[in-house]
Amino acid sequence: MSDVDQQRALVAQACRVAAARGLVDGILGHLSLRVDDEHLLIRCRSDTDTGVAFTRPSDIRLIRFDGTAGAAGELDGYRVPNELPIHVEPLLSTPAYRAVARRHPPAVVAADLAGITIRPIYGAYDIPGAWLARRGVPVYERAVLIRNSRLGKEMVAAMGDAPIVICRGHGITSAADTIQQAVLQAISLDQLARMSLRVRSAGGTPHDIDDHDWDDLPDLGPAFNTDAAWRHEVARLGDDHPN
């Protein structure tokens, strides 16, 4: 299997992980992975598409940043997502980003529409999530289809230096160095939103954890935070191979 084929399989697997976690439903949502300075792999749609939960490696197509086929036949029978700028603009703005995940977690959308700001309301329950929230989760305050570079740049401006942004009344965009990190960030954000909604529904008010607690919330490293966490997500799918 070539490197590109391995990457196709990984992006397809990440789509299925996101669907299994409830971050997407039906046919909406897409992920991308930068291949080089001119190409990316992205989940595309076809007339045989059965939804994100059933993404196949063949649904992941190699394209150029302008949306044209990255090689002969890559877009035969496939269409790039309307929201391609959601992927291209973060990748162009921040070279450290190699992967972008566009997700639609209902809990995040609901929490934002309810006026709940995502904050670090817990600590060791999910340390990477807590640190993600401590940095602040920005909001792009337009519920539009981001289908051109102008809107994509607006979203990136709202994102600032954060790796994730809530798009009001729409979903989230998560960017990272790896496709695993992009999806795991989205999972952490979803868990924070779910917990915030639970606290509110129980009659409570979400509060940030104590400032003194941060010294005892260490970075446990990628072997635990990413590698072990991803193995678990793959095992939940029942996939035979993590890649």
Residue 151: other Cβ atoms inside 10 A = 18
CA distance 58 to 191: 31
Exactly one of 38, 74, 83, 233 is catalytic; which is it? 83
Number of helices (H), then strands (E), belonging to the chain: the values are 8, 7
Q: How far is CA 40 from CA 70, 138, 178, 209, in A?
A: 8, 26, 13, 39
**What tokens does 122 get?**
């817990």
Active site residue 83: yes
Q: What are phi and psi of 76, to 5 degrees?
A: -65, 115
Cβ-proximal residues to 138 (8 Å cutoff; 6+ apart), any chain? 158, 159, 160, 162, 165, 166
Give the CB-side neighbour count of residue 86, counting CA atoms within 13 A: 29
Active site residues: 83
